[in-house]
C-alpha cells in the first residue's frame, strides 16, 4: 500500500497529463475519481498505468448487489491498487462487490475499501439530513465492522477514526484517509482534516492528498513536503 495517493481532480486526461508533466510528478501514485473517469473512461487508467502511476480508482459504487458485483468484475480487470464502494450499501452489496473483484481479477492485487462517512460530513448533517442518529465516529466504526465482516480490505475514514477502526477490525484492516492538509493549507470543504504527521501518528495506512499539492504554487515542492512530513513526523 502506497502511503500517498494524489487526487487528480481535473476533468480531462490532457489536463491531468499536462499537470503531471509540468510539475515533474511522473510515477506519483494517484487517485482517479468520478470527474476524470466519467469523462475519459478506461483510457485514462491505461495511460496512467503505462506511465508508471499506481492508482486508487475512487468511484464509490453504491447500487443493488448484483449490479455492483458485475461492475466490480469489470473494474477488476484494470488491476489498479484500490477500488471502493459505499458501506451504506449494506452487507450483501459489500460481499457481492468482493466476489466480483475476485472473479474479475487475474492477479488478486486490488484492494476493496469501503467509504464509511464522508469527511465532508459532520454530525449535524448526518443527524438532520440523513436521519442517522449518534455521532460520526460511532457510525463510521459501525459501517467499518459491516465492511470487515463482509470481505472488505479496509475503509476510507478520517484520521480521527483510524485508531478505533484498527481496534475494532484489526491492524491489517486498511485505513485510507482523505482530508489531509499541510498546516498552511485551507480546509476547503473538508471538515475532519489532519496533517500528514498526525495521520502517520494515528496509524493511517495511506493518505489521499489533493489541493495541498495540486493547488500549491509549486506542486512538486508541496508533494515533497507531504512525504517528508509523513516520513519524519516534522511540521512545516
- Helical pair 162-169 and 136-149, crossing angle rounded to 10 deg: 40
Which residue among 60, 145, 191, 228 is the active-site one?
A: 60
Residues lower than pLDDT 70 in the chain: 183-193, 233-236
The residue whose grid cell reads 480490505 is 153
pLDDT of residue 51: 97
The whole model's pTM is what?
Answer: 0.91
pLDDT digits (tens, 9 = 90+) for 154-173: 999 989 899 999 999 999 99
- The SS3 assignment for 113 reads strand
- C-alpha 9/C-alpha 35 separation (Å) is 7
pLDDT of residue 189: 47
pLDDT of residue 108: 74
Question: How many beta carbons lie within 10 A of that of residue 123, not counting itself?
Answer: 17
Asked whether the beta carbons of 36 and 232 are under 8 A apart, the reply is: no
With residues binned 3-state (H G I as helix, E B as strand, rest as coil), the percentages for the chain, rounded to 5, are 45, 15, 35
Range of the domain at 105: 4-232
Residue 129 Cα distances to 71, 87, 134, angstroms: 29, 18, 13
Q: Which three cell numbers stand for residue 147?
A: 465492511
Residue 45 Cα distances to 56, 59, 221, angstroms: 10, 13, 25
Residue 132 Cα distances to 85, 90, 139, 177, angstroms: 19, 15, 8, 22
pLDDT of residue 120: 80
Asked whether the beta carbons of 167 and 146 are under 8 A apart, the reply is: no
How many domains are contained in the chain? Answer: 1
Q: Which H or E run includes 59? A: strand 55-61
- C-alpha 210/C-alpha 217 separation (Å) is 13
- C-alpha 180/C-alpha 187 separation (Å) is 9
pLDDT digits (tens, 9 = 90+) for 64-83: 999 999 999 999 999 999 99
Give the CATH number, domain containing residue 123. 3.20.20.70
- Is 187 part of the annotated catalytic residue set? no
> Nearest Cα to 82, choosing from 47, 115, 40?
115
- C-alpha 63/C-alpha 60 separation (Å) is 10
- C-alpha 172/C-alpha 135 separation (Å) is 25
pLDDT of residue 184: 60
pLDDT of residue 182: 83
Amino acid at each position: 500500500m502506497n502511503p500517498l495517493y494524489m487526487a487528480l481532480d481535473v476533468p480531462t486526461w490532457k489536463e491531468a497529463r499536462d499537470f503531471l508533466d509540468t510539475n515533474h510528478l511522473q510515477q506519483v501514485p494517484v487517485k482517479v475519481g468520478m470527474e476524470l473517469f466519467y469523462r475519459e473512461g478506461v483510457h485514462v487508467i491505461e495511460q496512467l498505468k503505462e506511465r508508471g502511476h499506481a492508482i486508487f480508482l475512487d468511484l464509490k459504487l453504491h447500487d443493488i448487489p448484483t449490479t455492483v458485483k458485475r461492475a466490480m468484475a469489470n473494474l477488476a480487470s484494470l488491476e489498479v491498487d484500490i477500488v471502493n464502494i459505499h458501506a451504506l450499501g449494506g452487507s450483501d452489496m459489500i460481499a457481492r462487490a468482493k466476489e466480483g473483484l475476485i472473479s474479475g481479477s487475474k492477479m488478486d492485487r486490488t484492494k476493496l475499501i469501503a467509504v464509511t462517512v464522508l469527511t465532508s460530513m459532520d454530525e449535524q448533517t448526518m443527524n438532520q439530513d440523513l436521519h442517522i442518529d449518534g455521532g460520526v465516529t460511532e457510525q463510521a466504526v459501525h459501517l467499518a465492522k459491516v465492511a470487515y465482516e463482509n470481505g472488505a480490505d479496509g475503509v476510507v475514514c478520517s484520521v480521527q477514526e483510524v485508531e478505533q477502526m484498527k481496534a475494532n477490525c484489526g491492524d491489517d484492516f486498511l485505513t485510507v484517509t482523505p482530508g489531509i492538509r499541510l498546516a498552511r493549507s485551507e480546509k476547503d470543504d473538508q471538515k475532519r482534516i489532519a496533517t500528514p504527521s498526525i495521520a502517520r501518528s494515528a496509524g493511517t495506512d495511506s493518505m489521499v492528498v489533493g489541493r495541498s499539492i495540486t493547488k500549491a504554487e509549486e506542486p512538486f515542492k508541496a508533494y515533497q513536503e507531504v512525504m517528508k512530513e509523513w516520513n519524519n513526523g516534522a511540521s512545516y
